[in-house]
Amino acid sequence: MKAMLSKEVGGPETLVLEDMPTPEPGKKQVRIRVHAAGVNFPDTLIIRDMYQMKPPRPFAPGGEIAGEVEAVGEGVSNLSVGDRVLGMTGFGGFATHVVADADRVIKIPDNMPYEEAACFVLTYGTSHHALKDRAGIKEGDSLLILGAAGGVGVAAIELGKAAGARVIAAVSSEEKAQFCRDLGADETIIYSRDMSDRAAQKEFSNQIKAAAGGDGVDIVYDAVGGDYAEPAVRALAWKGRFLVVGFPAGIPKIPLNLTLLKGCQIVGVFWGAHTAREPQNHAENMGDLFRMYGEGKIKPRISASYPLAQAGDALNLLADRKVLGKVVVTMD
């Protein structure tokens, strides 16, 4: 097998493509012939030792894959050789083969391309858990999405619209704004790339309130963090919900008096822990997502595809915040 390996701490330029022995599945594991791997922001962090998970080197990044079951270990009853599947691996996905725990692998519909399956579960799983379980989204809510043109942002747009919410997409360029409007966003806001200035933050809050109408926005889906978070909290309506999803712009510091003044909630969204701690709820959510996929309400938007040998370029594109939707690495 071939794998794009992280052998030292560093950026995408440190990754090397090497041959490795093809692994054998252990008890309650399967080996998957990988056809495609989704590229996600944690992949840019894990190779720099900046992620919660720090696997021993050498390892391949890539926490989300799709492919075909090639071998089945002892004690696996839910999967068979030849099944078309997606899997959450945490790491190891930038490779032609991967061994995964069977309970982290899900069969996919026959009409679902591997590329879409590899870009499905993390983004839509995160956004569905965030909006449904953590924010209690309902018809008529106003929903602001920070970083709306990225993978989880696109999923939040589609899922927000499916829930009957009024969606406001906040992005950094007109190109991204048009992309979000094409996906169904009701309003778009183009924010400054430098939000450190208090005047810029106040203007951003005013833009959010104007787009939401009334006293502010009901739900903020924050996949950006940094200096963008506080202006969004200030633009929350009474009893609003602020969803903490990610921090590519840095970890924000929020004045907690704002939660008192607005009667609002700041709610953490840790989808990975949710899947492990609440497997039944996760299974129900995945059923929801496959149903909505079948109905055409959601569909991964893949803007770029790279072969395995160019996986580093895919990570650079993501780190530079130039991605519209999702990026995929293909092994075929």
- Tell me: do 109 and 126 sit in the same domain: no
- Tell me: do 116 and 132 sit in the same domain: no
- Tell me: do 63 and 133 sit in the same domain: no
- Tell me: do 57 and 180 sit in the same domain: no
Mean pLDDT throughout 297-307? 95
Q: How far is CA 52 from the centre of its chain?
A: 16
Question: What is the model's pLDDT at position 8?
Answer: 96
- Tell me: do 258 and 182 sit in the same domain: yes
Q: Which residues contact 42 (CB under 8 A, 6 or more apart)?
A: 51, 63
Cα dihedral 62, 68, 71, 76 sign:
positive
pLDDT tens column, 204-217: 999 999 999 878 99
As a whole-number percent, the residues of the chain with pLDDT over 90 amount to 91
Mean pLDDT throughout 102-130? 96
Q: Which residues contact 314 (CB under 8 A, 6 or more apart)?
A: 39, 304, 306, 327, 328, 329
96 located within any domain: yes
State the residue range of the domain holding 200: 122-272
Collapsed DSSP state (helix, strand, coil) of residue 269: coil
Burial of 209 (0-12, 13-18, 19+ CB in 10 A): middle
DSSP state of 165: P
- Tell me: do 173 and 158 sit in the same domain: yes
321 pLDDT band (50/70/90 cuts)? confident
**With 80 as the cut, is the pLDDT of residue 115 above it?**
yes
Question: What is the model's pLDDT at position 53?
Answer: 85
**With 80 as the cut, is the pLDDT of residue 322 above it?**
no
Structure-block tokens of residue 125: 């799983």
φ, ψ dihedrals at 189, nearest 5°: -130, 130
254 located within any domain: yes
- Cβ atoms of residues 153 and 147 within 8 Å: yes
Alpha carbons within 13 angstroms on the beta-carbon side of residue 103 total 9
Better-predicted residue by pLDDT, 315 or 322: 315
What are the DSSP E strand ranges found in the chain?
Answer: 2-5, 16-19, 29-39, 64-72, 84-88, 97-101, 105-107, 142-146, 166-171, 187-190, 217-222, 236-244, 265-268, 302-307, 326-330
- Cβ atoms of residues 100 and 66 within 8 Å: no
d(CA 66, CA 107): 10
In this prediction the pTM is 0.92
Which of 198-212, 275-289, 312-326 comes out lowest in average pLDDT? 312-326
**With 90 as the cut, is the pLDDT of residue 182 above it?**
yes
CATH code of the domain containing 255: 3.40.50.720
pLDDT tens column, 268-282: 999 989 999 999 999
Question: What is the model's pLDDT at position 41?
Answer: 87
Mean pLDDT throughout 68-78? 96
- Tell me: do 93 and 178 sit in the same domain: no
278 located within any domain: no
Q: How far is CA 9 from CA 5, 247, 289, in A?
A: 11, 20, 36
324 located within any domain: yes
Mean pLDDT throughout 222-229? 96
106 pLDDT band (50/70/90 cuts)? very high
For the chain, the average pLDDT equals: 95
pLDDT tens column, 134-165: 999 999 999 999 999 999 999 999 999 999 99
- Tell me: do 94 and 46 sit in the same domain: yes
Question: What is the model's pLDDT at position 256?
Answer: 95
**With 90 as the cut, is the pLDDT of residue 323 above it?**
no
- Tell me: do 126 and 265 sit in the same domain: yes
Q: Which residues contact 224 (CB under 8 A, 6 or more apart)?
A: 146, 147, 246, 247, 248, 249
155 located within any domain: yes
300 pLDDT band (50/70/90 cuts)? very high
d(CA 188, CA 279): 35
295 located within any domain: no
- In the chain, the number of structural domains is 2
- Tell me: do 132 and 194 sit in the same domain: yes
CATH code of the domain containing 98: 3.90.180.10
Backbone angle region of 239, left / alpha / beta, with phi > 0 → left and psi within -120 to 50 → alpha: left
Question: What is the model's pLDDT at position 193?
Answer: 84
- Between the CA atoms of 80, 4, 48 and 247, what dihedral angle is there, to the nearest 10 degrees? -60
Mean pLDDT throughout 15-22? 96
Q: Which residues contact 77 (CB under 8 A, 6 or more apart)?
A: none
60 pLDDT band (50/70/90 cuts)? very high
